Amino acid sequence: MPKAILVVEDYPETLVMDQQILESSGFEFKGVDTGEKALEAVANKEYSLILLDIMLPRVDGFEVARRIRANPKTKNIPIIAVTAFDVPDIVEKCKAAGMNDVLLKPFEFNNLLTIINKHLL
């Protein structure tokens, strides 16, 4: 059974690209476009990993990560921040919110798969 990956991204084009990359690499893909939908998705299904955009409408990625970490059922899911928000302390801010790693946009497909595999092994 393929590992399920939740992608939280508010740009439809990026969701389509991520879906193509992940499904062609043998993963089960679920994409949502808001923080609220992400929290609902993890409440209803078990995911192996979450790719989480930071800059989301209403509930941002930092808050989504904090809520996932606060829930005993979801606290151990690896969360990878995927963001174009490249500021000097972005890695520290992401880790403080409970994210395991950060991948800056734009990224190469191989870098995405490398970081996913790093956290799934």
Q: In angstroms, rounded to a whole number, what is the distance separating the alpha carbons of residues 1 and 16?
A: 22
Report helix, strand or coil for 27: coil
Name the domain count of the chain: 1
pLDDT band, residue 121 (cuts 50/70/90): confident
- Helix axis angle, 35-44 relative to 61-70, nearest 10°? 20
pLDDT of 12 higher than 80: yes
Look at residue 1 in the predicted model and tell me its pLDDT: 77
The tokens of 109 are what? 């497909």
pLDDT tens digit sequence for 18-47:
999 999 999 999 999 999 999 999 999 999
Distance in angstroms (rounded) separating the CA atoms of residues 54 and 16 = 18
Q: Quote the CA–CA distance of 121 and 119 in Å, as a whole number.
A: 6
Domain containing residue 108: 4-120
**Bond into 106 cis (ω within 30):** yes
The CATH number given to whatever domain includes residue 38 is 3.40.50.2300
Angle, helices 12-24 vs 109-120, to 10°: value is: 60
Instruction: Report pLDDT digits (tens) over 43-92.
Output: 999 999 999 999 998 999 999 999 999 999 999 999 999 988 777 899 99
Residue 84 confidence (pLDDT): 86
